[in-house]
Structure 1
Amino acid sequence: MIDHEVARRLRRSRQIATLLDGAWRIPYTPWRFGLDSLLGLLPVAGDVLGALLGLAIVWQARQLGAPRGLLMRMLGNIGLDFLLGSVPVVGDIADVAFRKNDLNASLLEDWVAKTQAGKS
């Protein structure tokens, strides 16, 4: 895969993560939240939709040829967030504190960096 394509997929993953996990700042705090936190306020459907949107980053990783172990770890992060989201109040706090999409984008970026370093 050409480097331009890799960069494009990484950029798209980071944009998705920012939209879902850190698009807005809570005033006078270092905390950020995104669309995933807002969706989490909707019982069940919001958590399902948040998990489905988070799969977009896993899809980008799959398209880049990420190893199965990395994909499983990313899916595990989404599953953990989904389970936490099913607990009232705790799930809402977890959506702000446990930023699964940001974590998954970082995991993908780290894997690509290691892969690119190995080619040099």
Structure 2
Amino acid sequence: MSAELRRELSRLDTLANALDSQFRIPGIGMRIGWDGILGLVPGVGDAVTLLPAAYLLYKGHRLGARRMTLMQMALNSGIDLAIGAVPLLGDLFDIGFKANKRNVALLRRDIEARIEEVA
């Protein structure tokens, strides 16, 4: 894997962590990110967090992710948006599902598998 590709994946990891795990909830140790926090704002929060999710899909496409991987990433983001829109239940779901971290992990696995196939 090239140094530039590693840096790009590291930047995407940083974004996903900010969205899904930036802050630790005192007392229970669970982690929440901006996706979960902004999701608390009715109507607007989940729509706003769709933008970085779309950016992850865009970067996945630019990095050459397979169509199946991009579809899985889109499905994760769609599930996050749909269930996240449900008041309270959706907010709890956001904390546990962590769609952005899942998507970066899918992208990383896809890229690593492609590199192994070439080698």
User: If the TM-score is normalised by the length of the shorter chain, which range does it land in?
Assistant: over 0.9
Shift of 1:31: 1.2
Question: How do 1:38-117 and structure 2 match up within 5 A?
Answer: 38-117=37-116
3-state SS of paired residue (1:87): coil
TM-score (norm 2): 0.93
Cα distance per residue 1:83-111 (max 9 Å; x no partner): 10111111110110110001001001111
Give unmatched runs, 5+ long, in structure 2: none
Cα deviation digits, residues 45-96 of structure 1 (max 9, x gap) = 1000111111221122111111111111101111111110111111110110
Q: Name the count of aligned residue pairs.
A: 119
Map of 1:22 onto structure 2: 21
TM-score, length-normalised on structure 1? 0.92
2:25 aligned partner, one-letter code: I
What runs of 5+ residues in structure 1 fail to find an aligned partner? none
Give runs of ≥4 in structure 1 deviating > 2 Å: none
Q: What do residues 17-57 of structure 1 show as CA deviations (whole Å, max 9, x unaligned)?
A: 00000011112334111000111011111000111111221
Query: Alignment identity in percent?
Result: 34
